[in-house]
A and B are shown apart, each in its own frame.
Chain A
């Protein structure tokens, strides 16, 4: 494995809500230029891991390094796609406006977004196929379109690392394909994409690497190494093993870099 460039390095991360551990002593490394899925059962701490990486939740112990430095100094390198349900879509704002919010970090205090930001935002909308909806009030977009607006906002952040929280949740097939293509394009450009994902079956098809999580880290690494019967059983209990085993034969190591998109 290419150890030279670690996009994110998490050491001994422990998070507790009301003294109950949600994440326990997790060590993780995310090498640069990979597409990684974070999977695990409900309540495994997937979203918590993502939010802690972003500094949204203070850890009880441990630390997160972004390209070798504390997150605080590297915020601009990290783009974020939150869950769609986390905001009020009735907020009076347009798709383009939301995407421009991705530039606020670069703008700094007091400066207003201008033509440069507008152009960048339009470009980001273009790359998710949403250019025709730029002026649309966000509540008038479908779920999939809203998700793509959030992705475009992260693109506008022009980050090196993208953290996405269940981007495929409740989206249509067109959007799913668009999101997948975008993630691969980012990966091919050398960016690091880390995605909280809940559909085990599509992991081998969509991702290079996987993190199997259930409060503690069960396994992490290339998908075919992580998705073993033992690991899946450790994360999910017995009920998923058969499904995991069924998924495994498709996993030929050499096809890992460019898995074909399965027809729907």
Chain B
């Protein structure tokens, strides 16, 4: 397949178009919200949240008996949120540190999810097949309806982010000062984390539990290298996320055995690598060149 065919396919192949569009939306939403997570040193929160969503997916299926994406998503969001609150509580009330609370919530919630999933599988008449799609993600199975949901809920999350922009910014940069101004810092904190959980739940069925965290961290880490402004960082992060989504989908359609999720993650990781090496102000290569120019300048002057 050459490049032209690829673009033709992108516009006319229904499945490919849907998947690419879904991955783009997912990349943009998780990229934008991921920027805040990375700046607040909550990069690994995404990993914990995505694992904590699993029991919710199965519970929602057990209760509603359907695999309706809205029901499963609501369940996922519920336990993911529960997981983040558990982490906050453990960190605040005990001597256990952040990383341990993350690992704890991540593995235990996932374990509970596994118990529920295997338990469900052994129930008679349970059409649970496809629930484990949430584990590894299956972008190829995205339907147009899923993409519409993604766009609606993701768009809602982004809208809230835009409305509360200056509050989120201040709470992320200087929570004490924000408290001094009378802002409800804790509530804003919880809201921002909840929005992140929404973004993650939206992405689960496309890239899966394990790799979703990369979609939170990678675009943001790359974007940070190119700019010193929060606004442009968030926009750029969303853009990188969307690019990773589309490019990953296209590349994975080129060859058999290239699963979409991992390919998207690798594209995003590649963007990070390029950014860290070559971003003009912060990149390693430009910095090394500047040092060399300086050294030779000093030599010729001396």
Contacts and interface: CB of A to CB of B under 8 A. Distances in A.
A88 B180 contact: no
A254 B180 CA distance: 37
Contact of A105 (B41, B176, B181, B224): B181
Contacts of B181: 75, 104-105
A105 B166 CA distance: 11
Prevailing SS type, chain B contact patch: helix
B173 interface: yes
B167 A109 contact: yes
A92 B227 contact: yes
A137 B228 contact: yes
A104 B173 contact: no
A86 B176 contact: yes
A82 B164 CA distance: 23
Contact of B180 (A75, A109, A112): A75
Contact of B166 (A75, A91, A98, A112): A112
Interface string A48-86: 000100111000000000000000100100101010001
Nearest to B233: A92
B179 A56 contact: yes
14 contacts: A55-B179, A75-B180, A75-B181, A75-B182, A80-B176, A80-B180, A86-B176, A87-B174, A91-B230, A92-B224, A94-B228, A101-B173, A104-B183, A113-B166
A75 to B, nearest CB: 4
Contacts of A261: none
Interface in B154-195: 163-167, 169-170, 172-174, 176-183
A93 interface: yes
A110 interface: yes
Contacts of A107: 166
Interface residues of B, number: 26
B80 to A, nearest CB: 26
Contacts of B172: 91
Contact of A112 (B165, B174, B179, B233): B165
B86 interface: no
Interface in B101-140: none
B230 A104 contact: no
- Using C-beta atoms within 8 Å of the partner chain, give the interface range for chain A: 20 to 34
A242 B176 CA distance: 38
B39 A55 contact: no
A88 B169 CA distance: 13
A92 B229 contact: yes
Interface string B182-221: 1100000000000000000000000000000000000000
B240 to A, nearest CB: 15
Interface in B227-280: 227-230, 233
Given A94-B229, A137-B228, A80 B166 contact: no
Nearest to A81: B177
Contacts of B167: 104, 109
B174 A86 contact: yes
- Nearest first, the 6 A-B pairs at minimum CB distance are A137-B228, A105-B181, A80-B180, A75-B182, A87-B174, A54-B180
Contacts of A88: 39, 41, 173
A104 B166 contact: yes
A98 B182 CA distance: 17
Contacts of B39: 88, 91-92
Contacts of A109: 164, 167
A78 B180 contact: yes
A55 B180 contact: yes
A51 B179 CA distance: 10
A72 B174 CA distance: 20
Interface in A122-165: 137, 153
B177 A80 contact: yes
Contacts of B224: 92
Nearest to B40: A88
B177 A82 contact: yes
B180 A92 contact: no
A80 B174 CA distance: 12
Interface string B20-60: 00000000000000000001010000000000000000000
Nearest to A72: B182
Contact of A92 (B165, B177, B179, B228): B228
A100 B163 CA distance: 17
Nearest to B230: A92
B176 A82 contact: yes
Nearest to A106: B181
B173 A56 contact: no
Nearest to A100: B166
B11 to A, nearest CB: 36
Contacts of A80: 176-177, 180
Interface in A144-201: 153
Given A87-B173, A91-B39, A105 B230 contact: no
